[in-house]
A and B are shown apart, each in its own frame.
Chain A
């Protein structure tokens, strides 16, 4: 009897945690459906008096936002792909091979994970202008790749360490060629780790703000977080608040989808790199 009662208490706590995590999202959605003209009249309430899609129209008809969405998706995708490929080689070496400089590599990765990016905005700003890559995709992809690498290397090397690599030789003994053994045995075993790393890296690039506002100046490379901070609304006479919330809902949707689909993997990835398990 006592056991069941305490189970119920844990469920209550669980519901509270869930409320804590999701309540601000409800507020975001609610605000995004308020009428931009009248939402401030009187005492603002939590829910809209009339629900309207106006803000979403505003956001999607604004080229600043649509180009930012394109930039964000493109830059995050390319930086993620590059980072995962570069990190994959390093993670394989760390997990499988014994070589001098392994400790140095891991220490550098650790140092860069802790590095204050703000200390680089000045030099990068100046250097990128000199190199002509200020305000371009490549100008953001390079630092994103760099700052995503430590996370990618750790996560993947933690996953790679758990792969039973003997199976590759076993397959070769059974008559498979080296390539077949790699493709049919190792790739399926390594793919989940690589994929999880890609999700975490994508989150990082999707989220990044400091470099995005420091190294861009127009909509040719400005990502969504940076564009949001410059957003002024449909007209100068209208408050941008509700439109900013609509744009926020739009950029949160991919995050929610990835979390819903890959919850288990994301947690495994987040903890694999930091705590040996």
Chain B
């Protein structure tokens, strides 16, 4: 694999400068060579298919009818954006994302706080909460589905709900889907928040205590502002992750009762219906929604990504 370094060597007036620039050049070339495989793999497997999707989204193209392939311009986008199915998927994804991220942020902070303060058994708790983190999402979806499902579950017996069918309507289905999502991903957010929490300088909290701040004031005025970077990064990651939700609705409801999410819609159009034209339009639109969310976080909420990138 060859990587061309574009920087021409500057004419060096003194031998030391020449030596240094030679060293710099060597470092640059080595850096590029070492990172080239990662760079190339990431670009080829994402940028190329994405470009392919953009092109296909301009055609009427079904895999079942390859002869009927025809350039239609932006018509697919118009079809998708005027279809209530798309907007239903948008609202479903939005509801799941907002609720799961909001609950996880509060719950995750609570968990982080307990892990921060607890003296005995800290490592037991950390081990315990890593299990939901590591568990296969499909398994989590089945566990919660069968807990709530009428014929197999215990939830209705325990709560005295009789024959209430959780998967019979939209909102209760979304509740169970969100619950599974929250159970599985709160550990991740709580560990990120814990990492931010331990970095809050202890002297600041002591100073606030000396000045007579109540615990509540210390939390809102000292702890949280000092954790802002960690909170924003955790929020950004979880929001975009929740926005891609697929496994839980697929396993729990298969999209019934308007519980189809955007990723699910993209999957169904492309893979189940092999409707590659409209499916690609959904894919491209999904990509843009993600870009939009990231943009809002970075520009709107001033999320500092250099932390994430490790610069």
Contacts and interface: CB of A to CB of B under 8 A. Distances in A.
Interface of A: 7, 10-11, 13-14, 17-18, 20-22, 24-25, 27-28, 31, 39-40, 43-46, 86-87, 89-90, 92-94, 97-103, 105-110, 112-127, 142-143, 145-146, 149-150, 153-154, 157-158, 161, 203, 206-207, 209-210, 213-214, 224-225, 228-229, 239, 241, 244-245, 248, 251-252, 255-256, 258-260, 263-264, 266-267, 270-271, 273-277
A4 to B, nearest CB: 10
Interface class of chain A by DSSP: helix
Contacts of A92: 34
B192 A275 contact: yes
Contacts of A158: 310
Size band of the interface chain B makes with A:
35 or more
B195 interface: yes
A103 B151 contact: no
Nearest to A273: B310
Interface in B134-181: 134-140, 142-144, 146-147, 151-154, 157-158
A89 B280 contact: no
Interface stretch (B94-102, B206-214, B269-277): B269-277
A108 B42 contact: yes
A259 to B, nearest CB: 5
A11 B195 contact: no
A204 B125 CA distance: 22
Among A87, A120, A203, A256, residue most surrounded by chain B Cβ atoms (within 10 Å): A120
Nearest to B254: A229
A215 to B, nearest CB: 9
A22 B270 CA distance: 37
A25 B199 CA distance: 33
Contact of A225 (B35, B45, B136, B270): B136
A258 to B, nearest CB: 7
Interface in B101-151: 111, 114-115, 117-140, 142-144, 146-147, 151
B299 interface: no
B7 interface: yes
A276 B271 CA distance: 40
Contacts of B200: none
A66 B98 CA distance: 39
A275 B193 CA distance: 9
Given A116-B290, A123-B53, A267-B130, A101 B136 contact: no
A27 B245 CA distance: 24
Contact of A248 (B32, B139, B152): B139
B147 A27 contact: yes
Contacts of B122: 14
Contact of B129 (A21, A107, A119): A21
Nearest to A26: B143
A109 B42 CA distance: 8
A123 B50 contact: yes
Contacts of A276: 307, 310
Contacts of B53: 119-120, 122-123
A252 B139 contact: yes
Interface stretch (B77-85, B183-191, B218-226): B183-191
A17 B45 CA distance: 40
Contacts of B280: 122-123
A225 B138 contact: yes
B310 A93 contact: no
Interface string B62-105: 01000000000000000000000000000000000000000000
Interface string B289-311: 01000100000000001011111
Given A93-B31, A276-B310, A112 B46 contact: yes
A101 B45 contact: no
B187 to A, nearest CB: 7
Interface string B234-254: 100100100110110011000
B128 A18 contact: yes
Given A106-B311, A118-B263, A224 B283 contact: no
B58 interface: no
B45 A125 contact: no
B45 A28 contact: no
A255 B307 contact: no
Contacts of B147: 24, 27
Contact of B34 (A17, A93, A142, A241): A93
A107 B303 CA distance: 14
B80 to A, nearest CB: 13
A116 to B, nearest CB: 5
Interface string B34-57: 110111011101100110110010
A276 B199 CA distance: 10
B196 interface: yes
B35 A105 contact: yes
